[in-house]
Amino acid sequence: MLKTETPAQDHVLLDQYPTAELVNVLVDDQMNAVDAVRAAAPRIAAAVAAALPRVQAGGRLIYVGAGTSGRLGVLDSVELYPTFSWPHGRAVALLAGGTDAMFVAVEGAEDDLVQGADDLRAVNVMSGDVVLLVAASGATPYVLGALRAARAVGALTIGFANNVDAPVANEADIGVTLDTGTEVISGSTRLKAGTSQKIALNTFSTALMVRLNKVYGNLMVDLKATNAKLVLRAIRLTAFATGVDEAAARAVLEQCDFHVKTAIVALSKQTGVEQARALLEAADGNVRQALAD
């Protein structure tokens, strides 16, 4: 029996716990998710290093999963655009059962090996792409089908699993094992197994974006100001990075479509936005290098 499916022995009377104790047990068990990701950190770092040259050359991130794992992949993919201006077309998420499965479980979809391969080929997977395959069991047929199709074209495959010696991790170019063990509620991998996947995917994609010059210091300087909250964030980040007041920051941001990087360089170098853009382009989007030039 998979460890993630094995009934936990330390909470066999869970249904009789007082509510306060029940909540504490559920919260405390989540800490094991953090420990599992920390143990896998070297593998995540290796995945970032391997993915970097492919995405620098124009490759896409393609997430593949079923159920909770698939939904977490969708979540990570859609957040890259507003956070880092990562193009929608370069963050693709495949979920067993299709878009409807984001909201309603599609029975049997995860068991279809052929469909996983077909769905991946349908998005024209290429050798320059990075395919992230997520499965708590590590043996989900839909995910394995996609993995094998990705490897057939030479794409970089990164497999995330919550069981040791799982096929998804073993067959991928880089396997990341998140050994979260048994769940408080037996087999419910939406608990700490899912939490570990969220942390691991978040860590991978964020580290990758940092390496792609989407961050200056620890400031989110390549965001898309798509709503009022993000417009205010852009203004505050620009003011903080340059030392100007928010009115001055807004004035320059309005000239460059609220692109924080451009505004920071223009204000810091006391130049126009076109010159700031040119400096950033010459520095491959690296704000620190553009300021030094």
**Residues identified as active-site:** 79, 110
Specify whether the backbone of 134 is left (phi greater than 0), alpha (psi in -120 to 50) or beta: beta
Which residues does residue 93 pair with via DSSP β-bridges, in sequence order?
63
Specify whether the backbone of 84 is left (phi greater than 0), alpha (psi in -120 to 50) or beta: alpha
d(CA 185, CA 190) in angstroms, rounded, equals 10
The 8-class DSSP code of residue 13 comes to T
Helix, strand or coil, per DSSP, at residue 135: strand
Q: CA nearest 160: which of 134, 189, 142?
A: 134
The dihedrals phi and psi of 182, each to the nearest 5 degrees, come to -70, 155
Q: In the structure encoding, which two tokens stand for residue 78, read together?
A: 């859609």
Q: In the structure encoding, which two tokens stand for residue 54, read together?
A: 């492919």
d(CA 241, CA 230) in angstroms, rounded, equals 16
Q: In the structure encoding, which two tokens stand for residue 28, read together?
A: 């405390």
Straight-line distance from the first to the last Cα atom of the chain, in angstroms, rounded to the nearest whole number: 59
